[in-house]
Amino acid sequence: MNALERYHYWLSSPDIADADKAELWDIKDDLNEIVERFYTELSFGTAGLRGILGAGDNRMNVYNVRRATEGLARYLTSLPHEGERAVCIAYDSRRFSDVFARESACVLAAHGISVYLFSTLHSVPQLSFATRYYKCMAGIVITASHNPPKYNGYKVYWSHGGQVAPREADAILDNIRGVEGFATAYMPYQKALRDGLVTLIGREVDEAYFAATLSLLLYPALDREKGPSMPLIYTPLHGTGYVPVTTVLSRMGLTQVFVVDKQRAPDPDFPTVASPNPEDPNAFTLALRLAEEKKADVILATDPDADRLGVNVRKQDGTWVTLTGNQIGSILIYSLLSAYKATGKLPLGGLVVKSLVSTRLADAICARFNVTCKEVLTGFRFISEEIARCEEKGDNTFLFGFEESYGFLAGGFARDKDAICAAMLVAEACIAARARGLTLYDLLQEIYKEFGYFKESVKSYTLEGKTGIERINTAMVALRAAPPAEVAGFAIAKAVDYKNPDETGLPPSNVLRYSLENGAWIAVRPSGTEPKLKLYIGADADSEPAVDALLAQLMDGMDGLLCGYLYE
């Protein structure tokens, strides 16, 4: 059926609620909106579902959530399994997140699958941890991470606590496609509770998660001694981070954690920010005011599902700097490896894992400590796969994983980005630096002086809707058909297409990366979760002004090329 036929199918279906039909009747004269909602189904991939809320095939709603869960349930019941078949479910502060979580539980219960459902909103890392804690076959978290308020999403995790791999995602998708119309199994929520198929969870697994996280502290005695004198500002940006982050910081010894009051409570409208994204310096506006009032030198911010951490630090001259994800990752790697070496706990075969678009400063730091730094495709599930490989083969000890997009993980208790653990480790790095009379920014400058000025620049091109997706695809096709020979006057020494596994040794991925004659690198890829094309540039030089100038020059050249494909 085409978009108009699907539109009328929804309007005529007895399974669609009157309120949703009324929403669809309101767009009866808007052909473009009808096409946007019905030209395709909301895609299900390794990141699950993510889309704009509303009625329609290409929107996030209870019908698509039930259908996705029906596909998951059919796949889980087809697998050989001993013991309890169970799924853990968590949800964040977004619109309908709690509704989608309960609806998912009702579909699973109808298939005889036990559900461990968090009784209140919880973060992504806590869901990942709980999936492993309860030995579940899979996990679900209802979230759209740091997307704008009109979005929500549905992410599926596997028994190892990481996001599903392509093989499982494809199998789930096959089962979703086998669901006819809106015909899903369904058990009323109260009956599922009475029959013991849905168990509400919270405190027990929370305490286990907190204990595991706190076990990663590097200097617990120093934290207890110096932590009480260090003021720290934190904002959960209206999301799930408030309780877990403040709990961990308090238990490690910090008594002056000041939370931005207007951003403390969960709120699906995220009223104080344009976007609840800790990558955006504007998300720190209210926190900066509080920092000046409390004379703090560091601000931490987590996104709505608390898997990404942003950090703002004060310089010695009193000005503030928003650290990049690469800078945060480099500080944490240096702090971890330095502490392990100083205490004799640096293992042989230590492993740090980073995405292919993340800083090469990590490689330089790891080389100094004789630790392997492995590069994987973008997507934190590839980092979680490396943790599982370490456990299976025993040839490496996982120490840390990160992505430039503000995702960090230590320890491996959870298997996805963990802003709660990262907040604790950044706070500890601040305490250690403060004990030496330094700020976190000073520590970063020490790292640059020792290893070189490695810096990066990232730009996203947002093109929503059917036309936007087509333009992004056209740009990638054009780059493959006619690879640039140079950028800003610097010749490209090597071009790698990550769609070719024979060339990369990695699974196929829609990424292009160019190595330049001057040692800089450029990568281009469509986002896997948002309607964006992303451009990454990395370079190094003997000084910060020199590397900043080089990055600006390369960005101008590559931006001009991409804009020609995307907007003309």
Find out whether 220 and 252 touch, Cβ atoms under 8 Å. Answer: yes
Please report the pLDDT score of residue 466 as a whole number.
85
- pLDDT greater than 80 at residue 528: no
Find out whether 561 and 459 touch, Cβ atoms under 8 Å. Answer: no
Alpha-carbon span 414 to 401, nearest angstrom: 12
Residues 508-513, mean pLDDT to the nearest whole number: 95
Q: Indicate the pLDDT class of residue 195, thresholds 50, 70 and 90.
A: very high
427: tokens are: 């706070």
- pLDDT greater than 90 at residue 527: no
Q: Indicate the pLDDT class of residue 99, thresholds 50, 70 and 90.
A: very high
Residues 279-306, mean pLDDT to the nearest whole number: 97
349: tokens are: 């075969």
Alpha-carbon span 59 to 49, nearest angstrom: 9
Please report the pLDDT score of residue 461 as a whole number.
95
Please report the pLDDT score of residue 89 as a whole number.
98
DSSP labels for 219-284?
-HHHHHHHGGG--EEEE-TTSS-HHHHHHHHHHHT---EEE-GGGTS--TT-TT-SS--TTSGGGG
- State the residue for tokens 């810096």: 455
Please report the pLDDT score of residue 14 as a whole number.
95
Alpha-carbon span 138 to 65, nearest angstrom: 16
Alpha-carbon span 280 to 182, nearest angstrom: 39
Find out whether 154 and 48 touch, Cβ atoms under 8 Å. Answer: yes
- pLDDT greater than 90 at residue 1: no
State residue 438 phi and psi, 5-degree precision: -115, 160
Over residues 146-155, the pLDDT tens digits come to 889 999 999 9
Q: Which helix (H) or strand (E) holds 399?
A: strand 397-403
Find out whether 305 and 90 touch, Cβ atoms under 8 Å. Answer: no
Q: Indicate the pLDDT class of residue 183, thresholds 50, 70 and 90.
A: confident
Please report the pLDDT score of residue 211 as a whole number.
98
Over residues 15-43, the pLDDT tens digits come to 999 999 999 999 999 999 999 999 999 98
Residues 263-288, mean pLDDT to the nearest whole number: 96
**Average pLDDT over the chain, rounded to whole?**
96
The candidate with the shortest Cα–Cα distance to 66, out of 94, 95, 101, is 101
Q: Check 104, 145, 358, 384 and give the catalytic one.
A: 145
Measured CA distances, 253 to 200, 210, 290, 386, 435 (Å):
31, 14, 21, 32, 15
Over residues 429-444, the pLDDT tens digits come to 999 999 999 999 999 9
Please report the pLDDT score of residue 568 as a whole number.
72
Q: What percent of the chain has pLDDT over 90?
A: 93
Please report the pLDDT score of residue 530 as a whole number.
78
Collapse the DSSP code of 529 into the 3-class scheme (helix H, G, I; strand E, B; otherwise coil) and give the result.
Answer: coil
Q: Quick count: other Cβ atoms within 10 Å of Cβ 255?
A: 12
Find out whether 156 and 138 touch, Cβ atoms under 8 Å. Answer: yes
Residues 266-278, mean pLDDT to the nearest whole number: 95
* Residues pairing with 114 in the sheet: 86
Q: What percent of the chain has pLDDT over 70?
A: 100
Q: Quick count: other Cβ atoms within 10 Å of Cβ 18?
A: 7
Find out whether 153 and 61 touch, Cβ atoms under 8 Å. Answer: no
Instruction: Sheet with 407-410: list strands edge to edge.
Output: 372-376, 350-355, 397-403, 407-410
Q: What share of the chain is helix, strand, coil (3-state, %, to 5)?
A: 45, 20, 35
- pLDDT greater than 80 at residue 529: no
Q: Quick count: other Cβ atoms within 10 Å of Cβ 489?
A: 9
Collapse the DSSP code of 143 into the 3-class scheme (helix H, G, I; strand E, B; otherwise coil) and give the result.
Answer: coil
Q: Quick count: other Cβ atoms within 10 Å of Cβ 89?
A: 27
- State the residue for tokens 């704009």: 52
Over residues 130-139, the pLDDT tens digits come to 999 999 999 9
**By CB neighbour count within 10 A (0-12 exposed, 13-18 middle, 19+ buried), where does 144 fall?**
buried
Q: Indicate the pLDDT class of residue 465, thresholds 50, 70 and 90.
A: confident
Over residues 310-336, the pLDDT tens digits come to 999 999 999 999 999 999 999 999 999
Please report the pLDDT score of residue 107 as a whole number.
98
Residues 209-230, mean pLDDT to the nearest whole number: 97
Over residues 359-399, the pLDDT tens digits come to 999 999 999 999 999 999 998 999 999 999 999 999 999 99
- pLDDT greater than 90 at residue 350: yes
Give yes or no: 405 in active site. no
| Amino acid (1-letter code) at residue 510 | N
